[in-house]
């Protein structure tokens, strides 16, 4: 059996209409590139996937393994030297995969390619143009909410959003892939940070376009999402930030987290962000210890409250899960 150029991975959880739109767009996009499709069933969708996509390689954990866990299980069976990860609530343009692979093959140092992701409900606005991380360790989607005329040219970025990303298999194998303990949210940032520390680069390819419904599984503003993001933010710093970065930025980190927890408590009436952070802190020493040999200094961006607020506003106003 010939080895495909790209293994396309979709982690599916319960929703059907969005998933089938996703799979239809993938079928069109793989017409011109050697590929295989791997679908991870996190929510009793095996029968429907087999009916609609009999050629897909189906992985069924038997429970909801989360986005990170699902991606990890897909990587265990994926055969391509490139792995494309596409959200089950996203669709891609017919030439998107071809553009991403071409971008990745421009240099052997490129470990990942970030696509241009637009809001499905507002296709004239950007959802993501890659990941940015500032000195507080706050991760944001680049250009979230900006009009597509500001999408810009191809360039290096910190990392690729897991909503629509292409990864070099050699990079994933070297740095250990996704950490499934994250379950969902910031697992793509953790991977990007470790890849940067290992010397890999990520490029943004604006000609590879996807459309994202946004938080269709765990809705933006839900207590579950606030908890996971809060916990995983602490884990992200524990695993990746150097001692020097923590010492230099801890006042700004603390100020940000206190302000964020207070804002959500006042506006959404939930302490889920606080509970998540406290849960994360309970694992701090263990996570610091287990990554100590692989942690390296990575250049972080300047502090930007505007980027954080812009992303929050964009998701609140433009993400319309169905």
Distance between CA 250 and CA 315 in Å, rounded?
27
State the virtual CA torsion across 69, 291, 284, 271 in degrees, nearest 10. Answer: -40
Q: What is the CATH number of the domain that holds 130?
A: 3.90.550.60
Both 176 and 240 in a single domain?
no
Give me the domain span that covers residue 296: 223-318
What per-residue confidence (pLDDT) applies to 216?
47
Q: Let me know the angle formed at the C-alpha of 199 by 195 and 203, rounded to the nearest 5 degrees.
A: 70
Place of tokens 């319309």: 320
Both 240 and 161 in a single domain?
no
Residue 31's φ and ψ, nearest 5 degrees, are: -65, -25
β-sheet bridge partners, residue 205: 115
Distance between CA 134 and CA 138 in Å, rounded?
6
Let me know if residue 217 belongs to a domain: no
Rounded to a whole number of angstroms, the CA Rg of the chain reads: 18
Both 84 and 16 in a single domain?
yes
Both 297 and 154 in a single domain?
no
User: How far lies 313's CA from each of 8, 44, 205, 307, 316, in Å?
Assistant: 31, 33, 25, 10, 5
**Structure token pair of residue 187:** 């697992």
- From 183, 212, 241, the end of a domain falls on 212
Both 206 and 266 in a single domain?
no
- From 212, 242, 266, the end of a domain falls on 212
Residues 238, 280: contact at Cβ < 8 Å? yes
Both 97 and 76 in a single domain?
yes
Burial readout 25-39 (b: 16 or more C-beta within 10 A, e: otherwise) = bbbebbeebebbbbb
| pLDDT tens-place values along the chain, 322 residues long | 789 999 999 999 878 889 999 999 999 999 999 999 999 999 878 888 888 889 999 999 989 999 999 999 999 999 999 999 999 999 999 999 999 999 999 999 999 999 999 999 999 999 999 999 999 999 999 999 999 999 999 999 999 999 999 999 999 999 999 999 999 999 999 999 999 999 999 999 999 999 999 754 455 568 999 999 999 999 999 999 999 999 999 999 999 999 999 999 999 999 999 999 999 999 999 999 999 999 999 999 876 667 777 787 788 778 765 4
Residue 54's φ and ψ, nearest 5 degrees, are: -65, -20
Both 11 and 159 in a single domain?
yes
- From 146, 179, 212, the end of a domain falls on 212
Let me know if residue 180 belongs to a domain: yes
**Structure token pair of residue 30:** 């793989």
Both 169 and 276 in a single domain?
no
Let me know if residue 246 belongs to a domain: yes
β-sheet bridge partners, residue 128: 117
What per-residue confidence (pLDDT) applies to 194?
98
Both 51 and 149 in a single domain?
yes
Let me know if residue 297 belongs to a domain: yes
The domain tally of the chain equals 2
Let me know if residue 218 belongs to a domain: no
- Cite the beta strand spans of 53-163 per DSSP E: 57-59, 82-86, 90-92, 110-119, 122-128, 131-133, 139-141, 155-157
Both 269 and 132 in a single domain?
no
Let me know if residue 1 belongs to a domain: no
Residues 6+ apart with CB under 8 A from 290: 239
User: How far lies 305's CA from each of 34, 128, 134, 193, in Å?
Assistant: 42, 17, 10, 21
Both 145 and 172 in a single domain?
yes
Let me know if residue 124 belongs to a domain: yes
User: How far lies 145's CA from each of 9, 18, 71, 207, 313, in Å?
Assistant: 26, 22, 27, 18, 8
Let me know if residue 98 belongs to a domain: yes
What per-residue confidence (pLDDT) applies to 320?
62
User: How far lies 151's CA from each of 4, 115, 127, 320, in Å?
Assistant: 30, 11, 10, 21
Distance between CA 246 and CA 89 in Å, rounded?
36
Both 46 and 194 in a single domain?
yes
């Amino acid at each position: 059996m010939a080895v495909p150029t790209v293994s396309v991975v979709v982690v599916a959880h319960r929703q059907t209409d969005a998933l089938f739109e996703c799979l239809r767009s993938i079928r069109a996009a793989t017409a011109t590139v050697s590929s295989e499709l791997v679908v991870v069933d996190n929510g009793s969708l095996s029968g429907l996937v087999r009916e609609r996509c009999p050629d897909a390689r189906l992985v069924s954990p038997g429970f909801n393994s989360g986005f990170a866990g699902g991606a990890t299980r897909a990587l265990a069976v994926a055969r391509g030297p490139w792995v494309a990860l596409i959200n089950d609530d996203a669709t891609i343009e017919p030439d998107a995969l071809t553009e991403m692979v071409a971008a990745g093959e421009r240099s052997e140092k490129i470990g990942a390619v970030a696509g241009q992701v637009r809001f499905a409900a507002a296709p004239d606005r950007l959802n993501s143009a890659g990941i940015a991380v500032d000195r507080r360790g706050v991760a944001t989607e680049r250009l979230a909410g900006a009009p597509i005329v500001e999408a810009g040219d191809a360039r290096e970025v910190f990392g690729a959003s897991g909503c629509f990303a292409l990864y070099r298999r050699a990079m994933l194998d070297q740095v250990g892939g996704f950490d499934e303990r994250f379950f969902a949210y910031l697992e793509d940032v953790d991977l990007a940070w470790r890849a940067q520390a290992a010397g890999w680069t990520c490029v943004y390819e604006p000609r590879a376009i996807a459309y994202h419904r946004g938080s269709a599984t765990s809705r933006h503003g839900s207590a579950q999402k606030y908890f996971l993001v809060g916990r995983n933010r602490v884990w992200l710093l524990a695993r990746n930030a150097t001692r020097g970065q923590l010492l230099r930025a801890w006042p700004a980190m603390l100020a940000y987290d206190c302000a964020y927890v207070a804002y959500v408590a006042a506006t959404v009436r939930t302490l889920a962000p606080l509970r998540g952070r406290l849960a994360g802190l309970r694992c701090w020493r263990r996570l610091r210890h287990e990554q100590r040999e692989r942690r390296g200094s990575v250049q972080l961006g300047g502090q930007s409250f505007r980027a954080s607020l812009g992303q929050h506003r964009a998701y609140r106003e433009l993400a319309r899960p169905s």
